[in-house]
Amino acid sequence: MKKINLILLLALVMLACKSESKTETVNLEENRAKSYNQEDGLITISGKFFYDEVKNAAIIQKNNNTVYGVVVDDNMKLLNEQVKPLKINTYDMVPVTVRVKRFEKPENEEGWPYRVEIKDILKIEKPSTEEEDVIKIGTE
């Protein structure tokens, strides 16, 4: 009888200690909505990214043709390294989704009215070959 009670007790302990593993999927749309509501000052934007290494300048153009100057820092350079393999031409623009801190440019500087500082890279997509997403520098 003692052995049966001991076996039942061990079985109960093992069942009670069973850990459930949770797998969490990341919902990009949910993250976008969350980023607009958080009080950390970051927003999520989707647009086409371009970096000119010669001029050391980067932009993100949203689908509504709003253009943001991008702060050239380590995160921007990391994004540029990740989009390089997707470019066919040096001047191709690559669709990205990033979390950024947006702020107005200083009044005494040239450039777009707003700048963004990249904080997180959420998504990088292959450029569409059907669209003309190429910036031409100079005259041809």
Query: Is residue 41 predicted with pLDDT exceeding 80?
Result: no
Residue 140 confidence (pLDDT) above 50: no
Domain of 45: which CATH number?
A: 2.40.50.140
Q: Are strands 42-52 and 94-104 parallel, antiparallel or unpaired?
A: antiparallel
Q: What is the mean pLDDT of the chain?
A: 79
Distance between CA atoms of 24 and 6, rounded to whole angstroms? 38
Quick one: average pLDDT of 88-99?
91
User: What is the spatial distance between Cα 124 and Cα 84, in angstroms, rounded to a whole number?
Assistant: 11
Query: How many structural domains are present in the chain?
Result: 1
Task: Determine, yes or no, domain membership for 2.
Answer: no
CA separation, residue 24 to residues 17, 98, 122 (Å) = 22, 21, 16
Tell me whether residue 10 is in a domain.
no
Tokens read off for 67? 């253009």
Is 73 part of a structural domain of the chain? yes
Range of the domain at 75: 40-128
Torsion of CA 98, 99, 103, 104, to 10 degrees: 20
Sign, CA torsion 96/99/104/108: negative
**Segment 44-68 mean pLDDT:** 92
Residue 15 belongs to a domain? no
Name the band, by pLDDT with cuts 50, 70 and 90, for residue 90: confident
